[in-house]
Every structure is written in C-alpha cells, then in structure tokens.
Amino acid sequence: MRDPDLFDTKPSATPVEPGSNLWQRLTTLVKLLLVAAMIPALLMAFWPEWQSRERIDADVDSLRQQVDALEQRREDLTNELEWLQNDREYLEAVARARLHLAHEGETIVRFHEAPDRADRAE
C-alpha cells in the first residue's frame, strides 16, 4: 500500500523556525518606533521655519493693507486736485472753509461747539 503523505499534492506549510515570529514582530515594532521618533524630530527641525513663515505672511498682509490704504489716499488726493483745478465753486468752498477767506464786504461768522456741561463745571 501507498503512504498517503508521500504522494500528497497539497502544498505543505513551510517549516517555521522557533522564535522567527517573535523576530518579525520585534522588527516591525522597531520600524514603527523609528518612524514615531522621526516625526517629532522633523517637527522640531522645521518648527522655527514654520513660525518664521507665519510671521512673514502676517507682515505681508499688513503691508498689503497699508498699500491699499495709500492707494485709496492717492486716489482721493488726485480727485481733489482735479476738482481744485477744474471746479471754481469747489475751489471757493475750500478757500472759505480752510483758509477763512471771504469776498470784499463779506463778514464771516463762525460758531464753535460749546464744551460739555461736565467740562464747564471744572
């Protein structure tokens, strides 16, 4: 009679050395620990650069706001210059308001706001 194990066509499991499963687990654990140790090291290496970048971005935003404000101021002044050069009525109104000028024979009367009652009591 034949031996059933001799002609078995099923693939047999590879022989397992004692302790090899433990070494595989330890190797995997060491790899994970190395990766876990690299993450804080990378964060510590790049953290100052990241903070510097955020500071620079804040400075850029601030400067952009200043540029926008200056462009608006330039536009306002350009408009006022055009009005002063081309609009006689505006020029006269500005001369009366800012320079306190008047035509001959005119009397200018200006009223100033009274101080608050609390200011007068002092």
| Residue 47 clears pLDDT 60, i.e. is over it | yes
pTM: 0.51
Over 60: is that where the pLDDT of 28 sits? Answer: yes
Inform me whether the pLDDT recorded for 11 exceeds 60: no
pLDDT grade for 32, boundaries at 50, 70 and 90: very high
Query: Within 10 Å of residue 84's Cβ, how many Cβ atoms?
Result: 13
Higher pLDDT, 59 or 107: 59
What is the C-alpha separation between 64 and 110, in angstroms, rounded?
Answer: 42
Rounded mean pLDDT, 31-53: 90
What contacts 56, CB < 8 A, 6 or more positions away? none
**pLDDT at res. 65:** 98
